[in-house]
Chains A and B, each alone.
Chain A
Amino acid sequence: MNASLKIAPAPVHDEAEDFASLYEAAQKVYPQRVSGFFRRLKWIILVLALGVYYLLPFVRWHRGANEPSQAVLVDFGHRRFYFFFIELWPQEVYFFTGLLILAALTLFLMNAVAGRVWCGYLCPQTVWTDLFLAVERWIEGDRRERMRKDSSPMTLRRAGEKAAKHAIWLLIAWWTGGAWVLYFADAPTLVAQLAAFQAPFVAYAAIGVLTATTYALAGHLREQVCLYMCPWPRIQAALTDENALNVTYRVDRGEPRNSMKKAALLRQASEKSGDCIDCLQCVAVCPTGVDIRDGANLGCIQCGLCIDACDAVMKKIGRAPRLIAYDTDINIKRRQAGLAPIYRLIRPRTVLYAALIALIGAVMLYALLGRDYFGIAVIHDRNPLYVRTASGAIRNAYAVRLTNKKSETERFRLAVSGVPGASMEIFGGERDSSGADVIEVGPDKTQEVRVLVSTAIAQPSGSIPVSFVARTEDGVAEVAADHFWSP
């Protein structure tokens, strides 16, 4: 370093600010047992949701001899999706698109009405975490006991408890993965195969992956998923408005917080004291460890368990329930101003979401009910585009594919129109007793035939439109358009 160079003294620098860690270590949350309306509601939803998930693959639905009899089945091998009375082919994948749009709009509507209903009651992360927490409480005890045990030295008994808890978690996780693969094959058959170690490798791999993710997400990551991994809290915050009902601490009633004794004294002296006695029960029961009294919060999944906890306390101390309740900031301000609260369920956004849901649902239903059982698709031969035959006629060749979505064999007759003087020859069909061409398509199958169309009458150079009509014996007609090329 050049000694003659004068170096200015370093400016005063807040090192802590410059090098503060951007990493926030996770604080372990020990949710406490709670009972009440919302807890009961959550149990009911949990039982229903998991019941549907675990048992649905075993529900049978008779479709006839040629088709699987599983009510809900994603059959990748045969490229079919079965849902009770609905059977979808790959080309009808737009029904899934519609379903996803409906799901998104329903999520938005729920949010417009009552905030994060999805997060609090229905999200798989919430449901499975609830189940895993119940197991944890059952084996290791409630909040205080778990906190005490975690800070005490490891004993043999403690190790046993931990082993039991993780074993049950893994068992649930394994069952979760196991139920998943049953949606992709005949469930009873696959269960037998799995038990005999004869199932396809991909089934075991899928079970393994889902066991690992369930165990990790519901057992270990829990609220971290909601805080850091899930995009919905961010989107939800941008979508919500001031009229949406959210789990809210009613500041107007609760503040100023005081101990019971102090509050009693203050009230005796006719001074104001809030209903909140700062017992922290709302924080103790929270599965994500937030303090609802801090107001709207990204970490709050709005499961309502703090409402239950607070109501129990209010009952004990003889104050009115619902100090924490589904409410809005507007109403807090109105009450503070001495006005009656307002609940505006019908607003432009709820109406719009509901209307869109109804519209898309109606379109999908219409499409589903009016769906054709048969189909025809035509591809013109690429090379040669046309052939001049020995007699001088012009001939074009097409591949015509007929689709039969019914569970019985269907017989089609093919006709062509649009080309003057056209005659048609079919390869790959059959002839009936009168010598006419008949194309037989098996149940739930497609059949391709080669069709040659010739005409001896000179056509304009280039192409003219031509249409093919396939008729079933019951007279149902399917039409496809293509072109007839001439030199």
Chain B
Amino acid sequence: MTDGTEHQHKVDPYTGKATTGHEWDGIAELNTPLPRWWLWSFYATIAWAFLYWIAYPAWPLISGATDGVLGWHSRAAIAQDVADLVSLRDPMNAKLAASSLKDIENTPELFSFARAEGAAAFANNCAPCHGAGGQGSKGYPNLNAGRWLWGGTLEQIQATITHGARWDADPETHSSLMPSFGRDNMLKPDEIVAAANYVRSLSGLPTDPDANLAKGKQVFADNCAACHGPEGKGNLELGAPNLTTKVWLYGSDRAAIINRINNGGGGVMPAWGAKLSPVTIKALAVYVHSLGGGQ
């Protein structure tokens, strides 16, 4: 390849090599051609690029890109992978669908599968409110603790996940709501303070030194016991929390309890039956139940 050029350009007297013919201030550049293998590898990569453009989607257009003749598409490849995974899990999912929640929890093979599937579904759907480990936060129930608003058996958990809480779009949702005793002038401020003190005393928390617990008890019996029960043990039918435990959804201090009595209301949970498959909800119920609070 260099034979032709060597005669055209000057030969460097020191090295005996041909120069490129370029000269800067008397300094000439030796002609050192690329190794043949390198050059041909380079040409091969260019050829490869052309073949690639033809075979695979390559050039961006206004909407989309050129289609390769192989018809390969990354989105289709992912869809295929997902479909493969679903079909791989199908036999076990069929077993989940056919078994009762209790049987799933008592069969190690089904249990570990349901827990794995439930953990993934929990991370995707539930963790934003209930926390990565189901530990909850203020206003979002802790699912580990064993105090339930709507019940902690496998079936109750499954029902709550399916229909949600105060989720109007689902006719079977848990819909009861705590009244706003203060805001709606159903109780006077001193009555609210007395009731709050009495509620704190139910779970053994200290009360104000000048608290009128007798008055609080009376207020509680007249206004709160209908839902929370005469002893404050709550009512799962109405989502009325048990007030005698160590677990508090909105906090146990005086101000937090007064705030609840004043404003009432309750948290909202979507009805996941509209979004998740029944098998996934089963897996979720088993997972949540096994977090530790299950009954």
Interface residues of A (CB under 8 A from B): 1-2, 10, 13, 15, 18-19, 381-384, 387-392, 395, 397, 425, 427-431, 439-440, 447-450, 452
Interface string of B240-255 (1 = CB under 8 A from A): 0010011100000000
Which one of A10, A382, A425, A427 contacts B105 once the chains associate, using CB atoms below 8 Å? A427
B135 with A384: CB separation less than 8 A? yes
**B146 at the A interface (CB under 8 A):** yes
**Residue among A381, A395, A427, A429 facing the most chain B CB atoms (10 A cut-off):** A427
**Residue among B16, B246, B292 facing the most chain A CB atoms (10 A cut-off):** B292
Known: A428-B111, A450-B290. A395 touches B246 (CB 8 A): no
A387 with B111: CB separation less than 8 A? no
Min distance, Cβ B141 to any Cβ of chain A, angstroms? 12
A395 with B135: CB separation less than 8 A? no
Which one of B15, B112, B146 contacts A19 once the chains associate, using CB atoms below 8 Å? B15
Residues of B within 8 A of A383 (CB): 131-133, 135
Which one of A382, A390, A397, A425 contacts B246 once the chains associate, using CB atoms below 8 Å? A390
CB-nearest residue of chain A to B106: A430
B291 with A397: CB separation less than 8 A? yes
Known: A383-B132, A428-B115. A447 touches B142 (CB 8 A): no
Known: A2-B26, A384-B134, A387-B144. 14 other contacts (CB 8 A): A1-B26, A19-B15, A383-B132, A383-B135, A384-B144, A389-B246, A389-B293, A390-B146, A391-B246, A392-B245, A428-B115, A447-B108, A450-B290, A452-B292
CA of A395 to CA of B293, assembled, Å:
10
Residues of B within 8 A of A10 (CB): 13-14
Residues of A within 8 A of B228 (CB): none
CA of A431 to CA of B108, assembled, Å:
11
Residues of A within 8 A of B292 (CB): 387, 389, 395, 397, 425, 452
Residues of B within 8 A of A440 (CB): 108
Residues of A within 8 A of B115 (CB): 427-428, 450
Min distance, Cβ B103 to any Cβ of chain A, angstroms? 12
A390 with B106: CB separation less than 8 A? no
List B residues 254-295 near A (Cβ within 8 Å). 290-293
Residues of B within 8 A of A388 (CB): 145, 246-247
15 A-B pairs whose Cβ atoms sit less than 8 Å apart in the complex: A13-B14, A382-B133, A383-B132, A383-B133, A387-B292, A387-B293, A389-B144, A390-B146, A390-B247, A391-B246, A397-B291, A427-B115, A428-B290, A429-B108, A430-B108
A389 with B145: CB separation less than 8 A? yes
CA of A429 to CA of B111, assembled, Å:
9
CB-nearest residue of chain B to A429: B108
Residues of B within 8 A of A391 (CB): 146, 245-246
Residues of B within 8 A of A389 (CB): 144-147, 246-247, 292-293
List B residues 120-142 near A (Cβ within 8 Å). 131-135, 142
Min distance, Cβ B85 to any Cβ of chain A, angstroms? 18
A427 with B26: CB separation less than 8 A? no
Interface string of B1-40 (1 = CB under 8 A from A): 0000000000001111000000000100000000000000
CA of A402 to CA of B31, assembled, Å:
70
A387 with B135: CB separation less than 8 A? yes
B245 with A390: CB separation less than 8 A? yes
Which one of B108, B131, B242 contacts A390 once the chains associate, using CB atoms below 8 Å? B242
CA of A1 to CA of B106, assembled, Å:
96
Category for how many chain B residues contact A = 20 to 34
Residues of B within 8 A of A18 (CB): 15
Closest 10 CB pairs of A and B: A383-B133, A384-B135, A390-B245, A390-B147, A392-B246, A387-B144, A427-B290, A1-B26, A390-B146, A389-B146
B105 with A390: CB separation less than 8 A? no
CB-nearest residue of chain A to B28: A1
Residues of A within 8 A of B105 (CB): 427
Known: A13-B14, A390-B146. A381 touches B290 (CB 8 A): no
Min distance, Cβ A442 to any Cβ of chain B, angstroms? 10
CA of A70 to CA of B147, assembled, Å:
55
Min distance, Cβ A342 to any Cβ of chain B, angstroms? 54
CA of A165 to CA of B284, assembled, Å:
67
Residues of B within 8 A of A395 (CB): 144, 292
CA of A384 to CA of B14, assembled, Å:
78
List B residues 142-162 near A (Cβ within 8 Å). 142, 144-147
B146 with A381: CB separation less than 8 A? no
Which one of B14, B108, B145, B245 contacts A387 once the chains associate, using CB atoms below 8 Å? B145
CB-nearest residue of chain A to B244: A390
Min distance, Cβ A324 to any Cβ of chain B, angstroms? 42
CB-nearest residue of chain B to A393: B246
CB-nearest residue of chain A to B203: A392
CB-nearest residue of chain A to B27: A1
Residues of B within 8 A of A381 (CB): 133
Min distance, Cβ A10 to any Cβ of chain B, angstroms? 6
Residues of B within 8 A of A427 (CB): 105, 111, 115, 290
B16 with A15: CB separation less than 8 A? yes
Residues of B within 8 A of A447 (CB): 108, 112
**Residue among B13, B15, B144, B290 facing the most chain A CB atoms (10 A cut-off):** B144
Which one of A15, A384, A448, A452 contacts B133 once the chains associate, using CB atoms below 8 Å? A384
Min distance, Cβ A27 to any Cβ of chain B, angstroms? 23
Min distance, Cβ B144 to any Cβ of chain A, angstroms? 4
Min distance, Cβ B291 to any Cβ of chain A, angstroms? 7
Residues of B within 8 A of A382 (CB): 133
Min distance, Cβ A211 to any Cβ of chain B, angstroms? 24
**Residue among B108, B135, B291 facing the most chain A CB atoms (10 A cut-off):** B108
CA of A387 to CA of B136, assembled, Å:
11
**Residue among A387, A428, A452 facing the most chain B CB atoms (10 A cut-off):** A387
CA of A391 to CA of B115, assembled, Å:
26
Min distance, Cβ A313 to any Cβ of chain B, angstroms? 46
Residues of A within 8 A of B112 (CB): 428, 447-448
CA of A191 to CA of B246, assembled, Å:
67
CB-nearest residue of chain B to A18: B15
List B residues 82-121 near A (Cβ within 8 Å). 105-106, 108, 111-112, 115
Residues of A within 8 A of B293 (CB): 387, 389
CA of A2 to CA of B133, assembled, Å:
83
CA of A427 to CA of B132, assembled, Å:
19
CB-nearest residue of chain B to A425: B292
CA of A162 to CA of B27, assembled, Å:
54
CA of A342 to CA of B63, assembled, Å:
87
Min distance, Cβ B283 to any Cβ of chain A, angstroms? 14
Min distance, Cβ A250 to any Cβ of chain B, angstroms? 47
Residues of B within 8 A of A390 (CB): 145-147, 242, 245-247
CA of A387 to CA of B131, assembled, Å:
13
